[in-house]
A and B are shown apart, each in its own frame.
Chain A
Amino acid sequence: MNRIDKKLSENKKLLSIYFTAGYPKINDTIPILESLEKNGVDMVEIGLPFSDPLADGPTIQDSSKQALKNGMTTELLFDQLKGIRDSVSIPLIIMGYFNPVLQYGVEAFCEKCNEIGIDGLILPDLPLAEYKEHYKSIFEKYGLVNVFLITPQTSEERIRQIDAASNAFIYMVSSATTTGVQQGFGSKQEQYFNRIGSLSLSNPQIVGFGISNAATFSQATAEAKGAIIGSAFIKMLAKDGIDGISNFINTIR
């Protein structure tokens, strides 16, 4: 069983953290990962920064810009992550936009991820149809899980297609927004969470966008298997740095 499936089979709600590699400082990647594991985080999305993050709100736009200014590149991230499996054993997923992966070469990128011990990828702008036609076999060759997004606007028909194409979990976007915009969940989100919960999908769902504290974490995970915190974590890093991680995680659950 791979690391993600093992984690998903644990009998608890999963807390996943997104951060942008190279932010706040260029060499923070490894210390952040080690601290997240130490503080009981279940899974991490390592953000590969991109110059034009279309689906992101101001917080992740800024962290991406800063990371690039600090000199983060795909090659450097891979260098930093070399040997990460000596100290970190929770599932690690790289999340980013498709263009940097395309420039690196999709196969070369996947091969490198496999060498390092990366478990999966989230590439929001790599469409389902393209993935199936051109890239699925490469992901599978290197043992990488591909994670697709669904949103409140995604039709049931398409959710079922995405469920069928997924092999770990579905990233359930909480609301029709860019990242870091939604503040708190109302009845609209609860209805959506319940609706998806009642579809009995074969892949568990992990909710992202708009989770910032204990309250939103528990709302998001009432039905779903887990939740991802991104912008709120990055804001905390900007303020308190790596030393603030332990405190932040402890307030979530």
Chain B
Amino acid sequence: MKINKSSDHTSLNKNKMNYNVNEKGYYGAFGGAYIPEMLYPNVEELRLNYLKVMKEESFQEEFKDLLKEYVGRPTPLYFAKRFSSKYNAKIYLKREDLCHTGAHKINNTIGQILMAKRLKKTRIIAETGAGQHGVATATVCALMGLECIVYMGEIDIERQAPNVARMKMLGATVVPALSGSKTLKDATNEAIRDWINNPIDTHYIIGSVVGPHPYPDMVARFQSVISQEIKVQLQEKEGRTNPDYVVACVGGGSNAAGAYYEYLDSPDVGIIAVEAAGKGIYSGESAATSVLGKTGIIHGSKTLLMQTQDGQITEPYSISAGLDYPGVGPMHAHLYQSGRGEFLSITDDDAMKAGLELSQLEGIIPAIETSHALAIFKTRKFNPEDIVVVNLSGRGDKDLNTYIDYFKL
């Protein structure tokens, strides 16, 4: 498959998208860079350089080559026949689970490691929740021979043990985050503190479309390869580039941003974002940020945020480590507030059942994060002719222990 010229990064820069970032780093009322001065030089260096570097031909060549030869792109757009007939719609799965390392996360880490090299950074730090981003970062660091330190909440270290082992095997140092809820938010805090303490040689590879500008935009651009491919593949299969709906789970929102990117300004494409309701939206144990959040500041970004009335960030909960985050990327906050996106939330139980169902209908064991996106079909009905693309963000190997415990397998 060839990606046509009109959809590469260079030409995207010129497009003015209503739902995309503006020059000041905002998506509507959300975004910006609310960072302490200690981080300013690093973030500013990145802001001044990221578009320029991404436009360089040598960068694009190396990026595309690695995505093809190393990651295994393009990933298939697979028509899920049995799943489709069960739910009475034409459901395609964008198989990001088939990327090297098993999730979409590596699209971003490939991009950022090339960026880090061009900025002459020699030390890489990252946060991780499910461990997928940590593994993807450790992988590209091994590939480039750079030092890699991954911060991971102590609770996530337990529930995603196989990924911890993978990171170690890849030569990364995994540092437990012991503060707060000991999950993704706290790992991110620790990574940011590391960056404050190492301002010269270090690049922070953020794993989602969160953090201060330009991170949300940069990560979305690296992930936009997902929707670039969907366009071409759908054209081949259905004779049209645009589906009726694109569905993705949202933790911070990077796989979703990548799947929506090319369609943000196409009103004929419905955007469906699926958040984790945990044990129920109002159970007090949830991560459904769009419903429970109010505008606030987390990790340098103004966005929807789960917090107390007093502005203290509250501890989220989800069975899925990758969705267990009290905020959401500013792009998604804007999609929600503007009404452009339809936001749904799915409980632990419904996600787990959907994961099992896809395994048995299609022979694909999805990550629990992805299972949330698959679970919407039980209640969200589509027309039989509707073409619905679900971004299958990752594979379920890392979650086997959770599946085993849950289903007593």
Q: Which residues of A contact B (CB under 8 A)?
A: 50-52, 54-55, 57, 61, 65, 68, 73-75, 97-104, 124-127, 130, 148-151, 153-155, 158, 173, 176-178, 181
For A51, what are the chain B residues with a Cβ–Cβ distance below 8 Å?
180, 312-313
Beta-carbon contact of B196 and A52 below 8 Å: no
Considering the complex of A and B, which 9 residue pairs feature the smallest CB-CB distances, nearest first?
A: A103-B311, A100-B311, A124-B36, A149-B37, A51-B312, A55-B36, A153-B41, A99-B297, A99-B311
A158 to chain B, nearest CB (A): 7
Q: How far is the CA of A98 from the CA of B297 in the complex (A)?
A: 8
Known: A154-B37, A154-B41, A155-B41. A99 touches B197 (CB 8 A): no
Give the number of residue pairs across the A-B interface with Cβ within 8 Å: 104
Binds A, one of B27-35, B256-264, B347-355: B27-35
Q: Report if B118 contacts A (CB, 8 A).
A: no
Q: Does the CB pair A103–B309 fall under 8 Å?
A: yes
The residue of chain A having its C-beta at the shortest distance from the C-beta of B186 within the complex is A52
User: A-side binding surface: helix, strand, loop or mixed?
Assistant: loop
Minimum distance in angstroms from A207 CB to a CB of chain B:
14
B40 part of interface (Cβ distance < 8 Å): yes
B34 touching A127, Cβ below 8 Å: yes
**Residues of the B chain whose Cβ atoms lie less than 8 Å from the Cβ of A155:** 41
Report B-chain residues with C-beta under 8 Å of the C-beta of A50: 311-312
Give CA–CA (A175, B305) in the complex, Å.
31
Does B85 count as interface, using CB distance less than 8 angstroms? no
Partner of A151, one of B37, B179, B295: B37
The answer for the CA separation of A57 and B194 in the assembled complex, in Å, is 10
Q: Is the CB of A52 within 8 A of B185?
A: yes
A54 and B193 form a contact (CB under 8 A): yes
CA distance A130 to B301 in the complex (A): 12
Known: A125-B300, A177-B196. A130 touches B37 (CB 8 A): no
Q: Bound state CA distance, A176 and B185, in angstroms?
A: 23
CB distance from A68 to the nearest CB of B (A): 6
Q: Which residues of B contact A126 (CB under 8 A)?
A: 34
List the A residue with the shortest CB-CB distance to B181: A51
Across the interface, do B34 and A98 meet the contact criterion of CB distance under 8 Å? yes
The chain B residue with its CB closest to the CB of A101 is B311
13 A-B pairs with CB atoms under 8 Å apart are A75-B310, A97-B297, A99-B296, A99-B305, A99-B311, A99-B313, A102-B295, A102-B297, A104-B310, A127-B35, A149-B38, A151-B41, A176-B196
A173 to B185, CA, bound (A): 26
Query: In the complex, what's the smallest C-beta–C-beta distance from B32 to chain A, in angstroms?
Result: 7
Q: Considering residues A52, A100, A125, which has the most beta carbons from chain B within 10 angstroms of its beta carbon?
A: A52
B72 within 8 A of A: no
